[in-house]
Structure formats: structure tokens, C-alpha cells
Structure 1
Amino acid sequence: MGTARPYLLEFFKIEIEKMAEIQTVPQLFKELGNPRMRNLIDVVFRFKSVKYELVVDAVDGEENLVLGAKAKSIIQIDEDENVTLDERLISFLENFLEINEDIQNYEIDEGIRSIQKNIRLYTVEEDFLEKKNYRIKIERHLRKVGRVIRRNATMLRQQVELDYKTAATAEVKKIKIKDHDEKAQKLLTLIHSIEEILDHDPFFVEDQDDQMHNFIVDLRFEYLRMARTSLVELSQEIVSYINKINNHDRVFKKLMKIKRLKDLYELENRTNIEDIFAHDLSLFFETKAIFATKPSLELLRTDEGLDIIQEVANKRQHLARERSKANLEIDLDGLDTEQKLEQRINFGEMKKKFKTSGQGLYDFVKEFPFKVETSDEDRIKIFCKMALMYENEMNFTGDVVRDKIEGKETEIAEVLAI
């Protein structure tokens, strides 16, 4: 540790030996209450491993603080003077911040076992307070399992994409991606196990109050369903990645073989490449043919099938709106009954003025000062056209505006600017 370091170690030896590891929460909070200690933990956590001198600089030269952190097992210092955080602290911070890069499905296994054990204890326990404690433990383990599942699903997707882009060789890519696929399938199995417990265990079926019911609903939709949807999509992407890797590897090997023959001046003699170039008129950039397949009824009954149905319904609704736009014809020349239209309507300018007017679209169009005389019927057409043209910038409230048009009481949809 340099010339002064042995002296400093001796100087603090007696005090360090008196120090004990942090045993209680107040002790931990007391240490974290020191701004320099917080800065030390932040620096070492962000950089994983930091040289001793840099850590001392980070705490304004207070070397005794660094040595005290080591004595209390907050940090570790190896023989090369590299400083790292204690594994327990790293694990806590990574789990709390949900940035742990390790896909640890065993945590979910342990969580499921703890849930089942506490359910059994809750069932046989007669003391009210003990039953309440078991109930709290069940909810805590469920919440933890949900967080781990969601985190693992997110990390798996990120790692698959990263390994596909950065792995050095095709074989390395395939090994890593297949390993991620196995973890994804295991995670799907664990999600199914939890859903089986929620669906069939009497604790959740019969003994639910409103608080527990709302908690289970959140767990299902914000954690389990989102994770399962992500994992199903990831499995499909993995198949695509593997196919791409195999195809790229096959093409690369062929190109290398061609290059080797070319370098030996044997390409024309040992292959039929001239005949191929003479007769093969392949279009390398031709659009790939896509063949649609019908989904099975079993698939449509699942949550994934429900998402597919919803997506198709949204597309059909969008197409219907596009047809409505195309079919809506406004005879702009008809807006002028006494003279030819001097200037066509600028819908873009109208939209800008409408957004700053604070009015509903119908009232805005009704009162808009067109340069030519405009009938009520034509204003209705302009209202409809603007609502359809700028649909994504409009708020269709579901309410109606009532007005007399050509002597008749008429209801018109209320449309506001977003």
C-alpha cells in the first residue's frame, strides 16, 4: 500500500480489531448517515472494482473511513488493493434497484415453496395473531416472486438481444441464446405454477377479503401476465435469431470457401460458377413471400390469443375509419352559391386555430368566418372531415351537442382538441 500504508494499518489496528460487523438496522442507518460513506458505497457500486487510492480520494482523503468500512464488512480489499462492495450489499442494492443481470429462477422456486409452507401453517394455526402473520408472509413472498419474475423476463430479453449482437462467433451466439431460451421456458413453467396456486388453492379461492383480492388482481395483470406475454414473444424471437445465425453461418462458410478457391485461382475450374452467373437471374432484393396461417382455437382461448384478437379488431377499426375518410366527398365548389370559390379551405390552418380556440369542434366550425358564404350543411361536412382527418389529435368525448339545423333538432358528437 505504499510507504505510509503499513504505518497507517498499524495505527488503526487496535481500533479496527474493536470494530464489529454491522448487526442491526440502526447500525446500518448510522453508517449510511455519513455522506462520505454514502459516496464511498456509490463509487464502488457503480464501478464494481476501484483502486484503493481512488476510493480514498472519493472520501476526501479519510483513509480511516475506508478501513473502518472494511472492518465492518461494507467493502473488501484484496492483495492488489482493489476495493469491492461486500456481496450481501451488492445483492441487496441490485435486487432493490432491479438491475441484477443474473437470471436467478431458483429465487422463484424458493418463493413458491415458502408460499405453500405458509399457507399450510395458516390453515392449521388457531391463534388469530399468528394467522395474520402467516397471511402477511404469504403476501410478501407473492410480491417478491412477482417482482423477480418481471425482472427476469426483462433481463432475459435484454441479454438475448445483447448476445445476438455482440457474441464473437455463431457457436457462441447459439450456446448463449439457447441457454436463455431454457431459462425462459423454466420461467414460464414457474408462472404457470403460481397461477395454479392462485386458481385452485382454497386460501385464495375461499379466504379472500377485498385487500387480498385487489392484490391478486394486480399480481396477475401487472406481473404474471405481462411477464408471460414478454416471454412468449421472446421465445418466438429466439427461434428467429437461431435461424438467422444458422443462415448467416452457412452463407459465411460458403463465402470463405469461394474466397479460398478464388485465391488459389481455381474457382472457375473447380466450380460451375460461370454457368450459374450465366443462367441464374435471382433478384436478391425481391420481397420475401409471406404465407398467412390460421390460428388454432386453443390459441385463441389463451391470453396471447386475446391479444391477437384485440390487435386484429384495432386494425379493422382503423381500416374502417380510413374508408370513411376516402368515401367522404365534399364539393368545395358548392360552398359558393353565387360566385366561384376564390380560395380553397386550408384545413391545416383551421386545425391550428381550433386548438387555440378553447371551443368544441362543432361550435368552432359553426362560427368560423369563411371567406365565402357557407351553408349549415356544408359546415357539417367540414366538421366531419376535420374530425376524420385529425382523428389522432381529437378527443371524442362520447357526449353530444344539440343544435337546430335547417329547423330540425339535431344531435352532433362533441369533439374537443387534445
Structure 2
Amino acid sequence: MQSFNDIKELLTALKREDRLFYEMFGKRKSLEFKLSYALELVDYDEARIDYLVKKSVLRENGGLLEIDGLFLEFFEQVLEVNEEINLASIDENIKSIQENIVYFLNENSEHRRHAYLREIKRTFRKIGVVTIRSVIDLRRKVDNTFKNEPNFKNKQLKLKHLDEKRVMVKKLSGQALDLINENQPVFFKTSQDEELKRIITELKLQLNECSHNLIEIEKQIIDYLNQIKHQGLFLEKLRKLKYLKDHFTIEAETDIKQHLAKSNSLIFERRLGEPLNLSLDFILNEERAFASIKKVAKNYKSRTHIVPELAETIATDFLENNVEQEIMINLEEVRNHFLATGDNLFNFIVNYNFNKEVGFEERVTVYCQLVSIYDQEFMITNEFENFNGVEYAMVYPK
């Protein structure tokens, strides 16, 4: 692994490949991001991909690319789209504050005491931000798990695990409040820092807001688990009824006939067909309406016979044979002439006689076609030159 030399080199690399990172981050949940697609985003310069792989920004495996976990976590944390609830960071920040408070009280140098105090304030701010994000992520994951998890057992287990995380967030939040209110009275009396007082006041407000949200999350989890339990009991009864029905014993072993006779639910009523008239705008402008009309027309036989109209006689002028000739460029012939020379490919194409008028842009196109088709027969170097505003690679015969 090669690390970046300084922050400037890191920012330059991220800025240069912003298109690539934008596409890869948007498809981070996809199983595949092919190397060929990544090369298209970096103008087919493999050296740029290799550079990011060597710096451990990207990971390559079998022609597939992915963003390294460290950078992916950084992007998700900054953009607040991370889905993992990291409770360890809250615990580590609390321990870090406790350690730095001890160092602060033991230190006699004002300069070093100020350094410890600055670290304590920074960590207090971090605790507030991380706790709020954890609560927001917890609420979102609870809601998404109940609505989107298809597996019944996994849905129940995930909600229980999220409830355990809720308890941990509540516990760590309480530890942070204890640290502020009770555990370190000497430090808070000794420091007498106005900025620290503002940070502590803001942190108390944040933790209080998190406490109220955790109560709501607890109610939500309980409600979801009760719904799952109710649905589970219903499905269990439904399976038993289906088992009895499949074995033709449902009428003998249950009183289903009596229950159905007492029920007047609409589900047992015959459905009445109600016509639905579509709007003219929908019929004229929507492709789905046209597809539906064609589908209905296949089953509808009309008695009206439409007599096709005969077209007029074709004029004799249109039946005359007109031959148009065009001189085509034979790429294989151009390749053979190039292999017989020692010149570079771009200079050879610019000066080549095609037996017809060929502009500069078309010659550049011929150059690109030859490199893409016959790349195995050419020696493509990493040297580049410019001509008429076009940057090209130096290509020679093998």
C-alpha cells in the first residue's frame, strides 16, 4: 500500500477522478462495477486506474472495481448516508474525554493544558453529532426493516437487534450525561472556559432530544413486533386451514360452514363489473393506452370491411438505375503500408495519400480505428504529443 504524500496530492487525485467516484459511489450497493466502464470514465487511461489502486483508494478483483472501505466510509459519513450504526465510536469518545481530563488535571504547563482542553471540546462536539446520527439512522433502519424485509423471521430478528442497539445508544447517552453532571466536577470548575460551557449546553440539548427520539423508537419497535406477531398467528392459522383443506377434512374437523354462514363480508359477494371511461388525452398521448387498444382489437371482430385504396402508378423516372460511387478507405491496406515504415502512426496517417480528399478530423478517426482494431500488431507507448489541439499517443510498428 502506498499512502499519499500530503493532503494536496489526495485532494488532487479525488478532484481529477470526480466523474469516476460519482458513478462508483452511486452504484456502491451494486454487486458489479466493471473495469471497462471505469476506463471509459477516465478516457481509457489505465495508468489513472492503476494509480488509485496503488494508493488503496480503489480495489480491483477479477475485472471489477470497488471503492476502498476507508474512503467509502468517509464519503458516507460526510454525506450522512451511512447505514451502519457505529456505537463503538461513542464509547471511544467518552473514554477519550475521561483520559484527556486526567491529563489536563495532571499537567502544569498552560500550553499543554490548552492542547488537552481543545481535544476535550472537539470530542464533546463529536459525541453530540455521532449520537444524533445514530438515532436518525436507527429510526430509518427500523422503518425500512419493517417495510422492506421480505423474510418474516429475519424481519423479527433485525428489529430485535435494532432494539438492542437502541438500548446501547440510551446507555451511552446516559454515560455522557453522567460525565458532564457528576463524574468530573473538579475539571469543570477548574477549566472555566466559556466555549466549553457553550459546547456542554448544546450537548445536553442534543442528548435530551435523542432521549425523546429513543422513546419514540422504542414505541415504534414494540408496535412493529406486535404487528409481526399478529401476522404470524394469522399465517399459522391459515396454514392449518390449508392443510385441512388439502386433506379434505376441513368440514369434518372445523365449523367453517357455520362461520361462513354468519359472515356477511363483502369478500364473499359477487364482484360487479363497472365500466371505466378513459380520457381522450390519455388515449391519444399514452403508449400504454395504444398497447391496450391493440390487445382488445385482436379479440374484437368488426363486420365493417375496409376496402384498401390503390396507390397511383409509379413514375418511370423513379425506376431508372442511378449509380453513385464512393471511394472507401481500406484500413487493412493502410495498416500494411504503416507496418512497412518506421514512422509513428499519427504522423503516417496525417501524411498518407488516400486517393481522395480526407480532412484532418477524418484522419484522426482513421488513427483511432487502426489503434483499436490492430492494437496487437502495434507498439503503443506512454509518450504523448499534441498536433492541432489533438493529444495522441506515440504508436510504432512492432
Q: TM-score of the superposition, structure 2-length normalised?
A: 0.62
**Alignment partner, residue 74 of structure 2:** 92
**Alignment partner, residue 220 of structure 1:** 204
Which of 242, 250, 253 is residue 267 of structure 1 equivalent to?
250
CA contact (8 A) 1:170 1:246 kept: no
Matched, 1:44 2:30: no
How far did residue 277 of structure 1 move?
Answer: 4.4
Give the whole-Å Cα distance in 2 for the aligned partners of 1:248 and 1:177: 15
* Aligned positions of 1:11-90 closer than 5 A: 20-34=2-16, 37-48=17-28, 50-78=33-61, 80-90=62-72
Give the whole-Å Cα distance in 2 for the aligned partners of 1:179 and 1:208: 42
Residues 241-250 or 142-151, more deviating? 142-151
The one-letter code sitting in structure 2 at the alignment partner of 1:139 is K
**1:59-117 Cα shifts (integer Å, max 9, x gaps):** 22222111111122221111x21111122211222222222211111111111100100
The one-letter code sitting in structure 1 at the alignment partner of 2:56 is S
Q: Say which one has the larger Rg.
A: 2
**Alignment partner, residue 134 of structure 2:** 152
Give the whole-Å Cα distance in 1 for the aligned partners of 2:71 and 2:55: 12
Give the whole-Å Cα distance in 2 for the aligned partners of 1:51 and 1:283: 54
- Assess, with a 3 A threshold, how the Cα gap between structure 1 residues 257 and 121 changes in structure 2: closer, same or farther: same
Which of 145, 159, 179 is residue 161 of structure 2 equivalent to?
179
Matched, 1:122 2:104: yes
* Aligned positions of 1:138-217 closer than 5 A: 138-200=120-182, 201-202=184-185, 203-204=187-188, 207-217=191-201
Give the whole-Å Cα distance in 1 for the aligned partners of 2:144 and 2:236: 24
The one-letter code sitting in structure 2 at the alignment partner of 1:52 is L
**1:281-300 Cα shifts (integer Å, max 9, x gaps):** 9999xxxxxxxxxxxxxxxx
The one-letter code sitting in structure 2 at the alignment partner of 1:209 is D
Give the whole-Å Cα distance in 2 for the aligned partners of 1:73 and 1:279: 71
Give the whole-Å Cα distance in 1 for the aligned partners of 2:201 and 2:250: 66
Q: Give the 3-state SS of the residue equivalent to 2:191 in structure 1.
A: coil
**Alignment partner, residue 324 of structure 1:** none
Give the superposed CA RMSD: 2.3
Give the whole-Å Cα distance in 2 for the aligned partners of 1:277 and 1:45: 56
Unaligned runs of 5+ in 1: 1-18, 285-418
**1:132-170 Cα shifts (integer Å, max 9, x gaps):** 111111111111222111111111111111111122232
The one-letter code sitting in structure 2 at the alignment partner of 1:153 is V
Which of 92, 113, 132 is residue 110 of structure 1 equivalent to?
92
Give the whole-Å Cα distance in 2 for the aligned partners of 1:226 and 1:151: 12
Give the whole-Å Cα distance in 2 for the aligned partners of 1:107 and 1:250: 40
Which of 116, 119, 122 is residue 137 of structure 1 equivalent to?
119
**Alignment partner, residue 318 of structure 1:** none
CA contact (8 A) 1:22 1:28 kept: yes
How far did residue 279 of structure 1 move?
Answer: 6.0
Which of 229, 232, 236 is residue 253 of structure 1 equivalent to?
236
Q: Give the 3-state SS of the residue equivalent to 1:50 in structure 2.
A: coil
Q: Identity over aligned residues, as a percent?
A: 29
- Assess, with a 3 A threshold, how the Cα gap between structure 1 residues 217 and 260 changes in structure 2: closer, same or farther: same
How far did residue 280 of structure 1 move?
Answer: 7.7
How far did residue 122 of structure 1 move?
Answer: 0.7
Give the whole-Å Cα distance in 2 for the aligned partners of 1:204 and 1:51: 55
CA contact (8 A) 1:198 1:205 kept: no
CA contact (8 A) 1:39 1:58 kept: yes
**Alignment partner, residue 101 of structure 1:** 83
CA contact (8 A) 1:199 1:205 kept: no
Give the whole-Å Cα distance in 2 for the aligned partners of 1:46 and 1:237: 30
The one-letter code sitting in structure 2 at the alignment partner of 1:43 is E
**1:264-286 Cα shifts (integer Å, max 9, x gaps):** 332211112234445689999xx
CA contact (8 A) 1:160 1:180 kept: yes
How far did residue 33 of structure 1 move?
Answer: 4.1
CA contact (8 A) 2:33 2:66 kept: yes
How far did residue 227 of structure 1 move?
Answer: 1.7
The one-letter code sitting in structure 1 at the alignment partner of 2:229 is N
- Assess, with a 3 A threshold, how the Cα gap between structure 1 residues 283 and 241 changes in structure 2: closer, same or farther: farther
**1:196-219 Cα shifts (integer Å, max 9, x gaps):** 111122223553332222111222
**1:40-66 Cα shifts (integer Å, max 9, x gaps):** 222222212521011111122222111
Q: Give the 3-state SS of the residue equivalent to 2:65 in structure 1.
A: strand
